[in-house]
Amino acid sequence: MKKLVPGQHPITTSLVIFITLLAFVIMNQCGKSKEKPAAEEWLSLFNGKDLNDWKIKIAGYELGDNYNNTFRVEDGVLKVSYDQYEKFTNQYGHIFYKEPFSNYRIRIEYRFVGEQAPGGEGWAFRNSGVMLHCQAPETMSKEQSFPVSIEAQFLGGNGTDERSTANLCTPGTNVVINGELVTTHCNNSTSPTFHGDQWVTMEAEVHGSGIIKHFINGELVMQYEQAQYDTTDADARKLFQGGDLLISKGYISLQAESHPIEFRKVELLPLAE
């Protein structure tokens, strides 16, 4: 039989051991809670080297025809350039990532540069965007200017007037805002104006046919939901074959609308639903 130290009681010994073990467990759990969470696994859609993962569609030209080298990669940046154009005559272009997505967060760093191409419309001055839930590029007609999609519109300032960015435009689509169906083609965000050639970080959080949010430099500036086909639009009618109007997934594309723009980062974080 184990001997006791004078004055020591067996119950006291057991209690001390229990308290010691409990303290160890608590300290161990506290240590785990301070560990950094696993890093988010963002995918770089643009590799900084080439356009191998992208498909180009310019109005008036066949899929894959990069008319006048409009889309190119230089110095690690994806550029929309018009230095080989004599005049812009409605050659609206889009460059599509190779696969569709449904639930994700996309992060883009962009900036407008230089002068607008001769012939560009006034509204297209420092105007571009990222198209979400796009129709497949293969389904666009040769002359089609814009894919049926939801556009997070990029706008740059003219140096004087206010002009928000990360606005919402809806080619061939409609959305619901604050419980109301909105059919207005473009709706302004609450973002500040960005004049000059400064880099801007835009993010969009997309939840299938549910909520879509736009962020500028980390601040929420636009929110809507229930992206759906506009059956009054001829291009949308070709895609909508009855059934559910809601659009739950699609391709991602970047725009070329007559003003030079650069993209140095295009990243995507898949979201589990």
CA distance 149 to 252: 9
Q: 200 or 40: which carries more pLDDT confidence?
A: 200
* Chain centroid, CA 80 distance in Å: 18
CA distance 152 to 168: 5
Beta strand 103-112 with 200-207 is: antiparallel
Q: Is the pLDDT of residue 16 over 90?
A: no
Q: Is the pLDDT of residue 223 over 70?
A: yes
Looking at the chain, the whole-number percentage of residues with pLDDT higher than 90 is: 83
CA distance 203 to 249: 17
Q: What is the mean pLDDT of the chain?
A: 90
Domain over 43-270 is classified CATH 2.60.120.560? yes
Per-residue pLDDT at 4: 35
Q: Is the pLDDT of residue 36 over 70?
A: no
- φ and ψ at 246, to 5 degrees? -65, 145
Per-residue pLDDT at 14: 53
Tens of pLDDT along 92-120?
999 999 999 999 999 999 999 999 999 99
Sign of the alpha-carbon dihedral angle for 234, 225, 95, 155: positive
Tens of pLDDT along 62-102?
999 999 999 999 999 999 999 999 999 999 999 999 999 99
Q: Is the pLDDT of residue 160 over 90?
A: yes
Tokens representing 9? 């009681």
Cβ 194 vs Cβ 154: under 8 Å: no
Cβ 140 vs Cβ 57: under 8 Å: yes
Q: Is the pLDDT of residue 167 over 80?
A: yes
